Amino acid sequence: MRIIEVKTQAKEELIDITARVREEVFSSNILSGICCVYIPHTTAGVTINENADPSVMEDILMTLRKIVPDSLPYRHSEGNSSAHVKACLVGTSANILIEEAQLSLGTWQGVFFCEFDGPRSRRVFIKTSSS
């Protein structure tokens, strides 16, 4: 397993980590297989979506804020329940097929680290295996 460090700069932020995932796949020397990107945090996650227009990520964050308001009567005493719920919604892992030593992402797709309770130092676990 490889670990990449992500230093987030804001409370909520979607960070394109595609290039860093590609580097890990390249250095794994796997021609065909699968790459699992796993986030070992409870207030952060990962998603795959458009990386051509940054407005898409802004819209996703805006929508998550609308769906999961900070103002609900949450019971969790740490005060970051909305971040936990958002992390649940986007999920903690993404699997991408590897073919011809490349990530099989669609033309407009990128891999995004999703911060919901930053800024913090975060980790991303990446495991590749051949098949």
Interface ranges with Zn ion (CB under 5 A): 78, 80
CB 80 within 8 A of CB 68: no
Q: In this complex, which beta carbon is closest to Zn ion, that of residue 80 or of residue 128?
A: 80
Q: In this complex, which beta carbon is closest to Zn ion, that of residue 44 or of residue 61?
A: 44
Shortest Cβ 115–Zn ion spacing (Å): 14
Q: In this complex, which beta carbon is closest to Zn ion, that of residue 53 or of residue 78?
A: 78
Q: What CA dihedral angle connects 90, 2, 53 and 59, to 10 degrees?
A: 20
* Alpha-carbon gap, residue 22 to 101, rounded angstroms: 9
Phi and psi, residue 18, nearest 5°: -55, -45
- Structure token pair of residue 14: 């979607």
- Classify the C-alpha dihedral 29-35-38-44 as positive or negative: positive
Shortest Cβ 21–Zn ion spacing (Å): 27
Q: In this complex, which beta carbon is closest to Zn ion, that of residue 2 or of residue 65?
A: 65
Shortest Cβ 58–Zn ion spacing (Å): 25
User: What residue is closest to Zn ion based on CB?
Assistant: 78
Shortest Cβ 70–Zn ion spacing (Å): 13
Sheet arrangement for strand 44-50: 13-16, 109-115, 44-50
